[in-house]
Amino acid sequence: MTDKRDSHFYENDAALIDAMLEGDSTAFETAVALYHPRMVTIAKAIIGEAFAEEIAQDAWMSAIRSLSEFAGRSSLNTWLIQITANAAKTRLRREKRQVSLDENWQEKETADRFDHTGHWQEPVSQWELETPEAILANDQLSDIISKTFEQLPPQQQAVLSLYDLEGESMSEICNILDLSASNARVLLHRARSAIQQKIAQYQDND
């Protein structure tokens, strides 16, 4: 059975953690529903698909063990992401092999929008839906945005969530994901660009 719930059922992290410490099952379900997908994305971004789920589950176990000591120095989200990232990096070292990430995006994405002189192949139009509010109010478009987001390669998705959704700094993101600054910026732009192109496709066909 699948339920949909309001993500703001618990007023804040502290309220959610208190309820978890009391053994409240709704609190555990809410926390897992909220944070588990993000933890899996972070793990995938670091170590790839194969171990991600397992690492996220292990990260939960160690988080639960120290939950009562979590003093709220950071947000619960940041704390869980750090535990996950550390677990993934430790595992990566132990596996002693470079896990290949995002292998195919390069060809897929740069289906070239530019001609040999570096100019746009097709004219770039002004969008009819010209504000974010208008875009998100369109059910199909807002669906396209979340679908594209979910289908981004893990590293792109992780950088985009941390930077644009959670407002983390670039240096913190490089630290969490073990990326160089220039690499992180390229991933961020690719992710945004993938979503921009999907919105453009929809707006141009309409």
Partner 1 sequence: MLKCRQIEQLASDYLDKDLSFRQRMAFKLHLFICHNCRNYVRQLKITITSIKLMPANQIIVDDKTKALAKVLRENASKQ
Contact residues toward partner 1 (CB under 8 A) are 1-8, 20-21, 23, 25, 28-34, 36, 57, 60-61, 64-65, 67, 113-114, 117-120, 123-127, 130-133, 135-136, 142, 145-146, 149, 160, 164-165, 185, 188-189, 192-193, 195-196, 199-200
CA–CA distance, 6 with 60 (Å, rounded to integer): 22
Q: Tokens representing 114? A: 């530019």
Q: Output 86 or 138, the one with its CB closest to partner 1.
A: 138
Read off φ and ψ for residue 120, nearest 5 degrees.
Answer: -60, 135
Q: Output 95 or 115, the one with its CB closest to partner 1.
A: 115
Q: Shortest approach of partner 1 to residue 179 CB, angstroms?
A: 15
Q: Output 17 or 85, the one with its CB closest to partner 1.
A: 17
Q: Please state at what angle helix 76-95 crosses helix 49-65, rounded to 10 degrees.
A: 130
Q: Output 95 or 130, the one with its CB closest to partner 1.
A: 130
CA–CA distance, 16 with 1 (Å, rounded to integer): 23
Q: Shortest approach of partner 1 to residue 98 CB, angstroms?
A: 26
Read off φ and ψ for residue 75, nearest 5 degrees.
Answer: -75, 160
Q: Shortest approach of partner 1 to residue 9 CB, angstroms?
A: 9
CA distances from 84 to 12, 36, 59, 77, 87 (A): 21, 10, 5, 11, 5
